[in-house]
Structure 1
């Protein structure tokens, strides 16, 4: 897997990351969602440099111009519900992409630290020969992405896989590196070194889904 850690570079992306981490700024759910969306736009722009481009003529009112345009068929597949703002950020840039959604969540028995990942809903077009953009804002243990990859296999084999994530743990990145095909790219805005006993990223941001859409039962 090829890892692109954009948090190692100095850019405006760091401002968006600092705000989604800030416990005071997090109180504004609309700003939190917008910052995740903007992070998606930045990651989408960087990811677009890896796509295939072909020359095409564009007619203007005064003449014509040859430009290199992307010809790939893209499918953006996001994990509900936390992935929705990130999905929108990517869709802002790849407006002709097809869309997929998958529900994957942790199930803890009682108050135990151990959990299993449950996949209950999946809707997506065929992935055969297309570029799959898989979004998961918080790459913690990597087990959610592992289960999503298994569910996706019934929809065909993509020509390339690009994972878009906001914050990940080093442990989770190492885990999915062993599972996903070698041609997979990971585009991530920041990497933290630790997980707590329940598999949450430290210092992380907390629960991205709750911060974006409110606490769940």
Structure 2
């Protein structure tokens, strides 16, 4: 799994364990997802290109590195992907946002698109797709398909949990797109949920069923 990066930072693993608990409140789950989003953003942006520019400090003129090129696009898959956005924007406040509305058909488990809105120059930017659960990967595959249709070529996927089946399905469709995740769990159950997992991330974040 050369294109899969498991983030083993102690704070990420600690917060993920807190989120897995069935006793975690909606407020607590939402706060933790926000915090993990920021920590995962550090990892997925670790290799962003830099360029040297000249600035004046209060004492002297110097050359110093700044991010090079156009700013990022965060592309949350609605609705659960929104849980990552605020934490990531705290770290990269100049990033643009693309919204990808997909829901999973309960019978076929296939992704159905109902909304798509992206910056007009999205194809010229690095796009980080956000989806907390890489389970069947149908939504993630559909989201990347849609972004590629818009001309995007530099894409990354960030998720909280992944199942081996989801990774295989995603990289079967998009082998060049790297994945960052906090953990790879055991398997999917008959309903397409990650086991042991943490349940439905969207329901737990918004207090719905």
**Shorter-chain TM-score: which interval?**
over 0.9
Q: Paired residue for 1:52?
A: 49
Instruction: Name which of 135, 145, 149 aligns with 1:140.
Output: 135
Asked if structure 2 preserves the Cα contact closer than 8 Å seen for 1:72 and 1:131, the reply is no
Asked if structure 1 preserves the Cα contact closer than 8 Å seen for 2:109 and 2:192, the reply is no
Q: CA RMSD in A?
A: 1.6
Q: Are residues 1:35 and 2:32 paired?
A: yes
2-side partners of 1:165 and 1:115: how far apart?
18
Flag structure 2 segments of 5+ consecutive residues without an equivalent.
none
For residue 63 of structure 1, report the CA deviation from its aligned partner: 2.3
Alignment of 1:155-166 (within 5 A): 155-158=150-153, 160-166=154-160
CA 1:3–1:214: 2 relative to 1, 3 Å: same
For residue 193 of structure 1, report the CA deviation from its aligned partner: 1.8
* SS of residue matched to 2:86: helix
- The C-alpha deviation readout for 1:172-197, integer Å capped at 9, x for no partner, is 01111121152x22111111021000
2-side partners of 1:194 and 1:208: how far apart?
17
- Runs of 4+ aligned residues of structure 1 deviating over 6 Å after TM superposition are none
Residue-pair matches, total:
206
Asked if structure 1 preserves the Cα contact closer than 8 Å seen for 2:99 and 2:116, the reply is yes
CA 1:185–1:151: 2 relative to 1, 3 Å: same
2-side partners of 1:197 and 1:57: how far apart?
58
Asked if structure 2 preserves the Cα contact closer than 8 Å seen for 1:170 and 1:193, the reply is yes
2-side partners of 1:196 and 1:53: how far apart?
44
Q: Are residues 1:175 and 2:169 paired?
A: yes
* SS of residue matched to 1:115: coil
Instruction: Name which of 124, 129, 132 aligns with 2:124.
Output: 129
2-side partners of 1:12 and 1:58: how far apart?
35
2-side partners of 1:79 and 1:63: how far apart?
46
| TM-score, length-scaled by structure 2 | 0.92
Q: Are residues 1:205 and 2:198 paired?
A: yes
2-side partners of 1:75 and 1:100: how far apart?
7
Flag structure 1 segments of 5+ consecutive residues without an equivalent.
none
| TM-score, length-scaled by structure 1 | 0.89
